[in-house]
Structure 1
Amino acid sequence: MYRFLLTPRWLGIFALTVIAAMVMVLLGNWQLDRYHGRTAVNERIDAGLRMAPVPLRDALPAPSGGPGTVGPPPAEDRTFTRVTLTGRYDTDNIVLVRGRTVESKVGFEVVTPLVLADGTAVLVDRGWIPPAPGGAFAQPEVPATPTGEVTVEGRVHASESGDAKVSRREGRLESRRVSLPQLAPELPYPVHGAYVLLDEQTPAADPVFKAVPVGHANNWQNLGYVVQWWIFGAMTLFGFGWVARREARRLAGVTDDRPRDRAADPSPA
C-alpha cells in the first residue's frame, strides 16, 4: 500500500521533510542554549544585588599595559560581582554617556575614572542625570566630584560593544556607549577591562544622581522560541505522514464514505 514511498519523487520529498525538521530542531536547540545563557546572566545580576562586596582584584584582573590600554575582561562568571575599591576621581577626564534612559527619561550617565594606588584606573558609572534645559543632548550640569580618597561599592559590568565615537566637548569626553577600548586611548593611564556601576560611595554621592538599573535579559522569550521550533519540526513530520496516508488511500481507491449532511444539500427542484 505504501510502496510508492520508495519512488524517487517520494524519497526526495521525505529527505526534504527530514532535513527541514532537523533544521527546526537545531534552531530550537540554539534558542535553548540562549535561554540557558540568559538565565545565567539573570542569576548573576540577582546574586550581585544580594552579595557582600569583595575586593576588586577578586573579580577583575589588573591591567598590565601602558597608558591608554585596556586590561583583560573579567571572567564571565564574575560579571555583576559586587566589589569595593578605593582611589581618587580624575575630574579632568569625566565621560558623559549621552542618550541613556532611566525611568522613561533620556539623559546622561556620568562615568568618572577612579585612579587606584597602583596608578591604574577603573571607570565608575556614578549614575544618571537629566540634560540641561534645551534638549535631550544638552550637556548637563554635573554635580561636584568628591576630592581626596573615595571608596566605592558597585557591580562589575562588562564593556559595552558597538561603535562609539568619542569626542571632547567643553572639557568633557562624550560617547554613546561605555566602550572601554574606545575610551582608554583618551586616558593617561591603564584602564581595567570592565567598569563599575556605583551602588554606594564614601563620601556619599550627590542625590541628583539616579542609580542605573541593570535590566534582566528576556530569557522566557527564548524558551518560547524553543517550543515554537520544536512544534514546527513535529508538524513537518506529521504533515508528511498525513499526505502520504492520503496518497495511499487514493491509490487504493478508498473514498470518503462518511454520511453527508443532507440538510446542507440543495432542495430538489
Structure 2
Amino acid sequence: MATPVSQVRSIARLRWAMAGLLGLVLLTLLLGAWQMSRALEKQALFAQYRAASQQAVATWSGGALPAEYRRVRLQGRWLVERELTLAPRTHDGRIGFEVISPFQLQDGQVVLVNRGWLAGDNPVPPARDSAVELMPWPRFFELAATRPEGRQFQNIDAARYAAWAGGPLPVAYARAVGESAPFVRFAGPLGIGPERHLGYAATWWAMSVIGLLLCWRFYRSNRGVPDASS
C-alpha cells in the first residue's frame, strides 16, 4: 500500500528538522573549538608579554627594530608639532582620547608612542619620559576610511600617519609605560584576554550539549512515525 503524500511530506520535514538541529550542534562545536584555539593563542601571547616585560630596559637610538613587547628607552627627540589624538575613546564610562606622540630616533626613524588615555576635559601635558614598550600596530575595522579632523584621528596606522604628516612611514608603534598622571595607561597585549575566549568556548559548547539533548528528545518523540518506504 502506498504511503499517503501528506505522510511522506511529514516524514521529509522531520528529517530536515533533525538535519538542521544536528547542523547547529556541529556549528556550535566548531565555534567552541575556534574560541578555544584563540584562548590558547592569547595565553601564548600573554606569556610572551610577561617574559619581555621582565627583561631589563634597553636603549634604542635606531637601527634594528626590537622584539614586540620589549621595553626600551628611546634616544632622540619628541616631534611635538606632529602630535595627534585618537578619539573618541572611553574608559570607565567616561569619554576621552588617547594621545599619540611621534618620537624621532637619533638615526631619523620615527616611532609613534601612545602616551595613554585622558578624559575629554584634560589638556595634554608635554612629553618628557621616553620609556616605552613596543606593540603590534592596532587593528581596526572601518566601513569607510575616516579623514582626520585637524589633529584628531579615529584610528591610526603607519600609512595613515605618513600621509598626514608628509614624511616617511614610522617604523614602530609603542606604548608609554609607568605612572604619569593625569594619563591612564594600560598593560598587557592589545585586545581581549584568554579568559574571555574561554568563556565564549564554554558558552558555545554548552549550547552544543543543549542541542544534542534536543536532538535526542526530537528523535524519541518521532520514533513511532512510520518510514515512507515501509
TM-score by length of 1: 0.62
AA aligned to 1:92 is E
Name which of 133, 142, 159 aligns with 1:154.
Answer: 133
Q: Is the 8 A contact 1:99 1:107 kept in 2?
A: yes
* Aligned twin of 1:265: none
* Aligned twin of 1:29: 30
Q: Matched residues in 1 for 2:132 and 2:156: separation?
A: 19
Name which of 145, 163, 187 aligns with 2:127.
Answer: 145
Q: Pick closer, same or farther for the CA change 1:244–1:131 going to 2, 3 Å.
A: closer
Q: Matched residues in 1 for 2:187 and 2:89: separation?
A: 11
1:186 Cα deviation after fit = 0.9
Unaligned 5+ segments in structure 1 are 1-6, 60-77, 133-139, 249-269
Q: Is the 8 A contact 1:89 1:115 kept in 2?
A: yes
1:236 Cα deviation after fit = 4.2
Q: Matched residues in 2 for 1:145 and 1:110: separation?
A: 10
* Aligned twin of 1:186: 164
| Identical columns (%) | 16
Name which of 78, 85, 88 aligns with 1:89.
Answer: 78
Q: Matched residues in 2 for 1:24 and 1:223: separation?
A: 14
Name which of 48, 51, 68 aligns with 2:54.
Answer: 51
Q: Matched residues in 1 for 2:159 and 2:211: separation?
A: 43
Name which of 100, 104, 112 aligns with 1:111.
Answer: 100
Unaligned 5+ segments in structure 2 are 1-6
* Aligned twin of 2:220: 242
SS in 2 for 1:158: coil
Q: Matched residues in 2 for 1:17 and 1:181: separation?
A: 51
Per-residue CA deviation, residues 195-214 of structure 1 (Å, 9 max, x unaligned), is 212114xxxx8533221355
Aligned residues between the structures:
204
SS in 2 for 1:28: helix
Does residue 230 of the first structure (1) align with residue 211 of the second (2)?
no
What RMSD over aligned residues (CA atoms) do the two structures have, in Å?
3.1
SS in 1 for 2:65: helix
Q: Matched residues in 2 for 1:118 and 1:23: separation?
A: 57
Q: Pick closer, same or farther for the CA change 1:98–1:15 going to 2, 3 Å.
A: closer
Q: Matched residues in 2 for 1:230 and 1:158: separation?
A: 36
Q: Matched residues in 1 for 2:159 and 2:77: separation?
A: 22
Q: Matched residues in 2 for 1:208 and 1:227: separation?
A: 43
Does residue 130 of the first structure (1) align with residue 108 of the second (2)?
no
Q: Matched residues in 1 for 2:127 and 2:28: separation?
A: 50
Q: Is the 8 A contact 2:72 2:131 kept in 1?
A: yes
Moved more, 97-106 or 110-119: 97-106
**Which structure's CA Rg is the greater one?**
1
* Aligned twin of 1:208: 182
Q: Matched residues in 1 for 2:29 and 2:207: separation?
A: 5
TM-score by length of 2: 0.71
Q: Matched residues in 2 for 1:197 and 1:152: separation?
A: 9
SS in 2 for 1:57: coil
AA aligned to 2:205 is V
Q: Pick closer, same or farther for the CA change 1:19–1:118 going to 2, 3 Å.
A: farther
SS in 1 for 2:223: helix
* Aligned twin of 1:18: 19
AA aligned to 2:54 is M
Q: Matched residues in 2 for 1:179 and 1:232: separation?
A: 44
Q: Matched residues in 1 for 2:208 and 2:180: separation?
A: 52
